[in-house]
Structure 1
Amino acid sequence: MYALHLLALLVALGLGCYIFWSQLHKAQQEEGQQAAEKQRLAEEQRAAEEQLIAVEAAEAERWVAKERQAAAEQQAAEAAKSRLVNTGPRLYYYKSKLTWDSSAGFCQEMDSALCSYEQLCRKIHNGAHFVHGVIPGDHWIAINGREWLAIGTAYGTPCVRYKSLGSPATLGDTIEAKPWKGYVSCCKETIETEPAVAFRYIGETATYASSRDYCEHHGRRLCYSSEVCSRNKPAYGVLQGDHWIPVKDRENEWLQIGTHHNLTCRHHGVTYTRPSWGQRTDGSSRSFIGYLYCCK
C-alpha cells in the first residue's frame, strides 16, 4: 500500500515537472518569436528610413542639377545677348560739342573703338551705303584714323570723307557746338554679327506699316519699347528735338526718343492718343518721323 502511494507521488511529481518545463519552453519560444518580430519590424523601419533618405537625396540632387542647368542656360543666354548687342557698328547721339578725341573717348567707355570707313560704308552698285541708313541734312562723325565721315545728305550721298573735299583734317577739333556734330558710331575690333538692336533712318514719309515692313524686309521686326529704352534712355542716345519711332507694344504705338517736352521714352498713345499720322496713306512728310529701331 505504501508502495502505491509512493508511485502515485512520483507520477504526480513527474507530471508537474513536465508541465512546468513545457510551459517554460513555450514561454521561451514566444519570447524568442517576439524578439524576432521586433527585430524584423526594426529592420523594416530602418530600410524604409534609408529608402526615404535615398529618395530625398535623389530629389535634392535633381533639384541642384536643374538649378545648375537653369543658371548655365541663363549665363549662356546673357553671353549670347552680350555678343549680339555689343558687336557691330552702333550709332549713338552723344552731344553737339563733341570732338574727334571726345568721340574716341566715348567709344572707349562703351568698351569699343571708333569705326573705320570699311566698317561703316558698304559698296553698292552706285556708290557706298552707310550701314545705319541716310540721315537728312549735314552730319559728320569721327572715324578711325583721325578722319571725319559725312553720314547725311548734304553732299548728295553719305560716306564722303572730309579729306576727299580737299579740306584740312582739323574739322571738329574744337568743342564749340555745331549742328553737324552729335553722332558717334562705335565698333568692336572683331565684328561677329550685326547688333541685336539696329538704328536706321528711312525718311519723313514713314508710317507705322512702312516701318514694320522695312524691319521685316531686313530680317528683323519692330522693337518693343523695353528693348529701345533702359533707365529712361534710348539705346542709341537721346536725339535733340521731336522724334517719334514706331514700337511693337501695340498697333500704331510710337515712342519719343528725343527731348521734346521732356517726353523721352514716353508712349504717344499713353501721353496723348495713338496718332492718326502714324497710319496716313497720303504720302505726306512729318519732320518728327523717320528714325527707326529694328530688333532681331
Structure 2
Amino acid sequence: MDLHSKIYVAGHRGLVGSAIYRALETRGFKNIIVRTSKELDLRDKESVDIFFQNEKPDFVFLAAAKVGGIVANNEYPADFIRDNLLIQTNVIDASYRYEVNKLLFLGSTCIYPKLAPQPLKEEYLLTGTLEPTNSAYAVAKIAGITMCQSYNRQYGTRFISAMPTNMYGPNDNFDLKTSHVLPALIRKFHEAKLNGDATVEVWGTGTPKREFLHSDDLADACIFLMKHYEEDEIINIGVGEDISIKELAETIQQIVGFEGEIVFKTSAPDGTPRKLVDVSKINKLGWAARIPLNEGIEAVYVAFCKEYLVEQK
C-alpha cells in the first residue's frame, strides 16, 4: 500500500472510519475513496457492486457497521444482526469479485465468550457462550471473520480480521440511548453539571472491568496491519490494561468537574464481567498503543463541549 494506492474507507463518518481517514490523510495518502450512507447503502448488494465496478479500489478498510452500547444491542438485536451481515457480506464479496488487493475487516472483542479467561487471547474465539446482551452483533462479526478466512482459503484473497477493544475518540456517539459507556458517561456528567444535579446514575454495579482504546491509536494499528499482517487468524488491537466502570465514572466525573454523587443502578445488566484483550501478538509485530486514557478522555471532552454548544443552539 503506497501513497498513490486507491483506498476505500467504508464507514468514514463513524468513530473508527473517521480516524482511519484522518490517519491516511496525515500520512500523505493521495487517493482515498469515501461515500456517505446516503450516497451508498452498503446493505444493498446492487449498489455495492456498481460502486466497486466503477471505483475498483486497491485496498479496503471495512469499518462500516451498525454499532451501539448495551442498551441498543439488547433492545434491537434483529437490526444489529441483519444490518451487519448485509454490510460485510456485500463488501467482502465485492472485494473478491473486483480484485481488491487487500481488505481489513474490523470486528470487536464481543466475539469472545462471556466467561473466557482473561486476558482474551485470539484462540479463545468460539470456545464458549457469548454475552446474551450483544450476541446478535457478535454472531454477525464472527460470520464476517469466517467469511474472510473462507474467501482466503477458497479464492486466495488477502482478507485480514482485527478485533479492537472498546473504542472512544472524536466523532463518537453521545446519544444516551445508543452510545457506549464512555461517551454516555461524558454526556451524563456534563448535563448533570450544567443542571446542578445532585446525582448521576450509572447502569450496573460498577464492578465490570473494561479496556479503552483511543480511535487514533486504532487507526494507526489498522494501517500498520494493512502493511505488515498477512495471517488468516484474527488479531487483537488494544491497550493491554483495563479499569472498572466505577473507576471510569470517577475519572470522567473529575475531568468534567461534576461535584455530585455517583449512584449505581444495580438492577441494570452489567454485561460481560471483564473484557481485557491479550495484545502480545500485535506487540510482537512492533505496534503498541500510545495515548493514555486520562489524556484521551480530556481531549474528547473538550471536543464534546464544542459540539454540545452547537447542538443546543
TM-score range, shorter-chain basis? under 0.3
Larger radius of gyration: 1
**Higher RCO (CA-CA < 8 Å; seq separation 6+):** 2
TM-score, normalized by length of structure 1? 0.24
